[in-house]
Amino acid sequence: MAKAKALIITGNGTNCEMEAAHACRLGGFDEARIAHISDLLSGEIRLDDFHFLNLTGGFLDGDDLGSAKAQANRLRYAKTQGGNEHLFEQLQRFIDDGKLVLGVCNGFQLLVKMGLLPGFANNGRQQVATLTFNDSGRFQDRWVYLKNNTASNCIFTRGVEKGLYLPIRHGEGKFVVDGTETLERIEKGNLAVLVYSDPAYTSATMEFPLNPNGSVNAIAGISSESGRIMGLMPHPEAFVNRIQHPRWTRENLPEDGDGLVLFRNAADYVKNDF
């Protein structure tokens, strides 16, 4: 097969792109390229040439219109140089080809506001959810326990038996939906992949600070119905090695951090299916 290639988009206020690229390489990708959004708009970089798209954290456009809203509009309506194709058409083709998309923190907000998550079939990519201000009214920077939904068909969390321990750092991480019908479809479809939980990963919790933002049904991450698009507020790229754990000097930890499994599963999927 051809080399497994990951693309990490940067620019307009993103961050963590170096960490995401490192996580992709550590997970098994042959290439992890960091590209500015302007490279896509100019046509210098095309999504068609990659297998895995990373939308990282940060503060896109200063979150001035709400987290990631300006970038959502840019990706949906901007045309590539020459005006022959909307960038969103490339993104839709990328998805239709069975490739992978991971949105972390600001990237999760971006996917939701573009209508790609939860991305129900036949809804015209309409936005039916959002991520809004934490119940605390403050930016939260802490580590959280995430219970995995083992009934989910999400590519990224395959093999995770109980849960993950990852850091969060956000001011707008509260996941909410437009009504009970949307929430029921998410829950019945097992699209709520990760939920904030107790330390034993036994049950979801609304208790602060275990649930740092007040997300409905304690939802921390969701996937599309295909399982190939995932968004989550915690940062998997920030824990790929034991020394990134806050207690690494005091506990006997495995070499791999909990977040690495998402990137390793992505690389395995690409290498087996392309």
- Catalytic residue positions, numbered: 105, 235, 237
Count Cβ atoms below 10 Å from residue 41 Cβ, excluding itself. 17
Burial class, 21, CB count within 10 angstroms (exposed 0-12 / middle 13-18 / buried 19+): buried
Asked if residue 7 lies in contact with residue 94, where contact means CB atoms within 8 angstroms, the answer is no
Alpha-carbon torsion (72, 75, 78, 84), positive or negative = negative
SS3 177: strand
The phi, psi pair for 7, rounded to 5°, reads -120, 130
Q: Taking each helix axis as running N to C, give the angle between helix 87-96 and helix 69-77, from 0 to 180 degrees, rounded to the nearest 10.
A: 90
Asked if residue 148 lies in contact with residue 193, where contact means CB atoms within 8 angstroms, the answer is yes
Asked if residue 112 lies in contact with residue 233, where contact means CB atoms within 8 angstroms, the answer is no
